[in-house]
Structure 1
Amino acid sequence: MPNIEQLIVQNDFYHVFQTIYGFPGKSILGYEALIRSKSNMNPDLLFQHAMEQNKLFEVDSFSILEAISAYFNSPGSREHGPLFINIFPSTLVSPLFIDLLDTLVKQFEPYRNQIVFEINESIYEGLLWKSASFKDAIRLLRELNFLIALDDVGDGTTSFRNILDISPDFIKIDRFFSADLSTSKKKQKVVALFVEYCNDESNLILEGIEKEEDFETALSLGIKMGQGYLFGKPNRLT
């Protein structure tokens, strides 16, 4: 098993960025940061090892700082739009989270309202959503003008209750619903339900769009934002 702390010290990690588009004109709305390993470790495996070694906060906070720094220090960052960066619930409830926010506020003051924290789902951390510390962290993010997204909605612990409690700025529908959307009436009904709900509540993003026919169906259902390999794979910023 790789030593996660050693990999951090060796600077084994970097980020690629996937474009989030606005429809129907495919205008660039922002980017999502995705962590990668120079040693080609699968990101899911990376976080699994980090959890097993009690280093999840270290990896998550390192990833957040590095991604934000790479993004907003790149040429033309003001024209890039918001940056979506994943965060685990356990990071939000950590006593060290306030220190992380303090660092972000000091280093990236002009960009606070362009940083979107995507709350990651984890079957191991589902109970944390109901904790007082989690709710306090959400409240603090709002007070500091950061934005909030719920990630992979429909494929984990996120429930309609969580959506109502948090009132996220963005809801990202899991890629499961975009796959073969054009031929699945059931998936179309679910996507249409989210479109109707989000009209006055949140910005809705459909993830994992890979086929033109699924994209066309998404448009017909009212999807106005999305990302996926149909529009391009994640890459380093140029």
Structure 2
Amino acid sequence: MNRLGSFKIENVIEDNLFFSEYQPIVSANLNNIFAYEAFIRTTSNVKPNELFESARDKGILYEVDIAAILNAIKEFPKTLFKDYFLFVNIFPSTLTNPKFCDFIELVIAYYPEIKNRIILEINESSLEKNYWFDENLAASILHLELLGFKIAIDDIVLSKFWLEIIAVFNPHFVKIDKSYSQNLSEKSEEITFLLTVIDKRVNLVLEGIEKEEDFVLAKQLGVPLMQGYYFSKPLRL
């Protein structure tokens, strides 16, 4: 059920009607927290996908996306940047926006502690697949890497399209869709295949780990990083 109701997407930025929660990403080998992922939340409990869908419909997706990025950085405790990376979600269309590079350089100037500590997690939305073929996306990613950012691709599934995208962009991290964690024992061959074909320099993150047996099996399969309710729900820090 859509919860937008009388909630006006245009007021999200003006009235600061949102906040950030954070979920740990755990290193399987070291059994400790490697990073956190930031999630946008609204004071009206509007689901994030509904929030962004409404922003897209209103033509202000870029404005809402960069507001979420800025808030994720602002609310993450400064002292944690010394020990942990921060995954921050971003849409491909935001990366191709001509204003984005200027925005991100201002963010670095204002929050110098984020240098080399932010992993931009590019959304896999089917509505934005065409942006992956936009030359501005590749140029923006290269610029961001020169500025010290790392790149992740979010929620991939095993398909020719995503294997080609991974080969072309060579991200630092690839997050496997949480559907693979459901009945993980039945999908272990697909996980093993991904671990085999993806460049060893690319770190795989398996999302949706909810039970100890899934954690143990994923670790046995060689998955280096994991995320899910088994470790923690997203929380304010």
Q: TM-score, normalised by structure 2?
A: 0.92
Q: For residue 228 of structure 1, what is the aligned residue in structure 2?
A: 228
- The question of 1:62 aligning with 2:67 is answered yes
Q: 2: distance between equivalents of 1:39 and 1:94? A: 29
**Any residues of structure 2 matched to 1:122-161 within 5 Å, and which?**
122-154=125-157, 159-161=162-164
| Alpha-carbon distance between aligned partners in 1 of 2:158 and 2:73, rounded to the nearest angstrom | 26
TM-score with structure 1 length normalisation? 0.92
- Report the 3-state secondary structure (helix = DSSP H, G, I; strand = E; otherwise coil) of the residue aligned with 1:210: coil
- Kindly indicate whether the alpha-carbon contact (under 8 Å) linking 2:18 and 2:41 is maintained by their aligned counterparts in 1: yes
Count how many residue pairs are aligned between Structure 1 and Structure 2.
Answer: 232
- Matched with 1:190 is 190
Which residue in the other structure is 2:36 paired with?
Answer: 31
Q: Is the 8 A contact 1:123 1:157 kept in 2?
A: no
The answer (yes or no) to whether the contact 2:19–2:40 under 8 Å persists in 1 is yes
Distance in 1, matches of 2:142 and 2:232, equals 35
- Which residue does 2:45 correspond to in 1? 40
Structure 2 stretches lacking a partner, 5+ long: none
* Post-superposition offset of 1:78: 3.3
Q: Which of these residues, 17, 21, 25, is aligned with residue 16 of structure 1? A: 21
- Aligned-residue sequence identity (percent) comes to 38
Q: Please give the root-mean-square deviation of Cα atoms over the aligned residues, in Å.
A: 1.7
Distance of 1:31 and 1:220 partners within structure 2: 23
- 1:123-179 CA distances to partner (integer Å, 9 max, x unpaired)? 111001001111111111111110000100117996111101111011111101111
Please point out which of 103, 106, 109 is paired with 1:106: 109
Could you tell me how far apart the structure 2 residues matched to 1:82 and 1:65 are?
Answer: 15
Match of 1:53 among 28, 52, 58: 58
1:144 partner letter: L
SS at match of 1:30: strand
C-alpha distance in 2 between matches for 1:80 and 1:206: 21
Q: Which runs of 4+ in 1 moved over 6 A?
A: none
